[in-house]
Structure 1
Amino acid sequence: MAKPLTVKAVDAAKHGTNKDGEAIRVEYPDGGLPGLYLVVQPSGSKSWAIRYRAGGKPRKMTIGPYPVFGLAAAREAAGKALRAVSEGRDPGHEKKLTKAAQANDLTRIEAVLDDFVSRHVEVKNRPSSIKENKRLIEVEIKPKWKGRQMETITRREIITLLDEIADRGAPIIANRVHALLRKFFNWAIERDVIQASPVANVKAPAAEVARDRVLSHDEIRLVWLAADKVDWPFGPLVKLLLLTGQRRDEVASASWDEFTLDGPAPLWVIPKERAKNNQAHSVPLSKSAVEILQALPRIKGAESFILTTTGKSPVSGFSRAKDGIDAAMLAIARQEAAERGEDPEKVNLPEWRLHDLRRTAASGMAALGQPVHVVEAVLNHRSGTIKGVAAVYNRHDYLEEKRRALAAWASKVAEIVTGELSGAVVRLDTAKKRS
């Protein structure tokens, strides 16, 4: 009968040798727990295993390596396994099933999506893109295929999902989901999670037409007057969007440490971490923009955000705020119509978006004779008139040119708002809503 193994004996155990002097595998039975063996490989590595019978057949199950499993730990694990055998179970088979289930958990789509978010989305994207991609994953993708293995998602299912989103009246969202899924499955291929992408050769479900909406002078005036009537901080936000021509999220998430308001050359520097093209962007500030910024209240305890209602995060809720601006614009336009003796109920306003303010500012500067490359510099565009070799060697930031362009535009907006252009009244009663 084998003697009980000791810690000293386990440490001293060596592989065996055959008649030719070659190292061979050896098993040392533990008399302290029959069925438990210390296995020493020809390389000298050691591990624990148990031998037992299940279903009338001999079985073997590896417990784990030594010294990760010491003698006491190996006996404890072996004891649990052998108790399972006494209950008529097969611990080796159960272990295989558990490992397979764990492997399956790792390749379920929701687990891989979570990994994709932490390793790619949160690392490669801007804060606004991170937020939107997370929303699309949680709202559009996970509920559709939760619990499914990655390799079971088919091309037909991708197409069906995109069609369903587009058919409910959200073709642009369908396009965004298409782009996100394509990136996700390609990332999964790179991580060796799957071998092929079901999004391959699947086209975006909707053709996107670039918007060309530019607000008229009448609409600019109404937007400005409406901004004076809506609750803070959305009124100042809209005015700054119009005056600076910058992106909504860049303005909404701006912090006080990005601004230099004192001195002869006020400046706003958007750090590269928040700029869309990952390059820091200098925005000269007109007198009107400075006055708006200086009038903003500073929320106690705020983490330096210029536009915040909580003091802990930048302003949000843009859709509802835009509805408030629209309502105020319509009220002003109808009041003016009534004062002219016209039927205010016949006054309607064309549809517009906050991003149209950026396009309006760009078009306005161009109309004032500002060079195209200067307007593009104001917008922080890098793919416009200066391309190729010229883009490599032209590192001039056009700061003074941008300052002149934005100052001219601010003056134009002031003229529009005060009605000093032509004295014409606003007549929007024949305007049709845009889809």
Structure 2
Amino acid sequence: MIVNNLTLPTIYKREKKSPSGKRFELTFGDGLGLRVSKKGIFTWQCRFRLDGRQHRIDLGRYPELSVSRALAEHKAFKENIAEGIDPREDVPDDIKTVGGLCNYWYQEYAEEQRKRPEIARRSLDVDIIPELGHKTLLGIRSIDVHRFLRKIVKRGSKTQALKTLSLLKQIFRFGESLGLVHSSPAASIKKRDICDVPQPKKRCLNDEEIACLLKKLNEGLLSEQFSLATKILLFTGQRRSEITLAEWTEVDIVKGEWFIPAHKNKSNRDHVVFLSPSVKVFFHRLKQLSRDSIWVLPNMHQKENHISERALTRAINRKQHQFGLPKWRPHDLRRTFVTGVNDLGTPLQVTEKIVNHTLEGMLKIYDKGNYDEQRLEAMFKWDEHLNELMKNG
């Protein structure tokens, strides 16, 4: 059947509403066409003759790959063919595989553009490259990506599977922009195709749970290093990554300030945390434990390195059932801090400044205050509240 940009949408809607159950092909002209599967999936194809033989290449799915883009890619193919260039091989040898593209993306994009490229590097080395790295850019299919992601889900890592899907979409888009990939095999895959999408976390510890948590920490349920780190998260409301990446040059215990540089926080701006009396004590003890390390939380087996975010989370997860609380995560302490400080009467914009959030609405435009005095007062109030819970818990 011959179609054009006017008739194609109509046929597509009809097949989506009621698939014919038959495989058939649509002709767009000059070697460009679409293969329609039994389930109504439309795939662009470029047919061409080279060296006396007929070939075809899948360009991508419609409507993800629009008519205009398909025509543009088809035109580029025809121009290469006219010059005797096989479009299936017009890719540098070291980037012909998924692994090659991943490494090229990391070197030429992630290392410079990503705030924490090591997180992407770990996903590449642990999951993506071992499973998909050997596949060619021409041979990788959406079903390959889907099966790979489902494998991650089945090992109990839904969140990691969804993060990996987002990472693959970015890598293949990068490949498309450079002409290395004709159509991303991850583009048409949606989060719900992989698993049920987790709802945003809402866990917030109440006063009774906070008292129980602090009691367990004081009793040594976690190692002293992890216990102090957990308390700092609860007392300051900062992020897990910010304490694990902290260096002693950034902490002034005497002055009572913890400086978090822009490149170490999600908001990408320099941030100062005022230290309450209890937090000063926590940092002082960590200083003793860290000895001559530059890190506030050094890896006890490799002093030149800091502990990882995952190490802190794993330590907490291993003891979950012994805390005597409904399951909680390190990031829940940040939500607990914000809720608790607000309940103590701290104005919302002050709390947002403490946790280094961007103000919303008109406040974002007009409110440029740092609220140093109010932030310090809020930290002291929260400190007193937590110590009162510990005393009465």
Structures share a fold, TM > 0.5? yes
Aligned to 2:103: 114
Matched, 1:299 2:290: yes
Q: Over aligned residue pairs, what C-alpha RMSD do you find? A: 2.4
Q: 2:134 aligns to what?
A: 147
Please name the residue that 1:173 is paired with.
160
Task: Specify every segment of 5 or more residues in structure 1 that has no aligned partner in the other structure, as ranges.
Answer: 1-95, 331-348, 420-424, 426-435
CA deviation after TM superposition for structure 1 residue 151, in Å: 2.6
Cα distance in 2 for residues equivalent to 1:301 and 1:193: 48
Residues 66-215 of structure 1: pairs in structure 2 closer than 5 A: 103-127=92-116, 130-204=117-191, 205=194, 206-215=196-205
Match of 2:383 in 1: 410
Shift of 1:324: 5.5
**What is aligned with 1:217?**
207
AA at the equivalent of 2:204: V
Q: Distance in 2 between matches of 1:216 and 1:126?
A: 33
Identify the match of residue 363 of structure 1 among 339, 352, 365. Answer: 339
Tell me the equivalent position of 2:326.
350
Instruction: Show CA shifts across 1:351-404 (max 9, x none).
Output: 11111111111110111111222212111111x5x33x5423432222222212
TM-superposed CA distance for 1:312, in Å, is 0.9
Shift, 1:261, TM fit = 2.1
Amino acid at match of 1:318: L
Summarize the Cα distance change of 1:248–1:207 in structure 2 as closer, same or farther, 3 Å threshold.
same
2:271 aligned partner: 281
Q: Distance in 2 between matches of 1:300 and 1:379?
A: 29
Q: 8 Å contact 1:233–1:315 — kept in the other structure? A: no
* Match of residue 377 from structure 1: 353
Which ranges of 4 or more aligned residues in structure 1 deviate by more than 6 Å? none
Tell me which structure has the larger Cα radius of gyration: 1
CA positional deviation for 1:125: 2.2
**Aligned 8 A contact 2:225 2:289 in 1:** no
How far is the alpha carbon of 1:233 from its aligned partner? Answer: 0.9
Q: Match for residue 334 of structure 1?
A: none
In the alignment, what sits opposite 1:86?
none
Distance in 1 separating the partners of 2:153 and 2:147: 10
Structure 2 CA distance for aligned equivalents of residues 157 and 104 of structure 1: 22
Query: How many Å separate the matches in 1 of 2:234 and 2:254?
Result: 22
| 3-state DSSP of counterpart to 1:202 | coil
Partners of 1:358 and 1:373 lie apart in 2 by: 16
TM-score under structure 2 length normalisation: 0.70
Question: 2:352 is matched by which residue type in structure 1?
Answer: E
Deviation at 1:187, TM superposition (A): 1.1
Contact 2:313 2:329 in 1 (8 A): no
Q: Deviations over 1:109-168 (max 9, x none)?
A: 1111111112222222233xx333222222221122232211321223222322332244
**8 Å CA contact retained: 1:154, 1:198:** yes
% identical aligned pairs: 25
Q: 1:155-198 CA distances to partner (integer Å, 9 max, x unpaired)?
A: 23222322332244322111101110111111112222123222
1:31-70 to 2 correspondences below 5 Å:
none
Query: Residue by residue, what CA displacement relative to the aligned partner does 1:50-87 show, whole Å, maximum 9, x if unpaired?
Result: xxxxxxxxxxxxxxxxxxxxxxxxxxxxxxxxxxxxxx
Structure 2 gap ranges (5+): 1-84
Aligned mates of 1:107, 1:318 — CA distance in 2 = 39
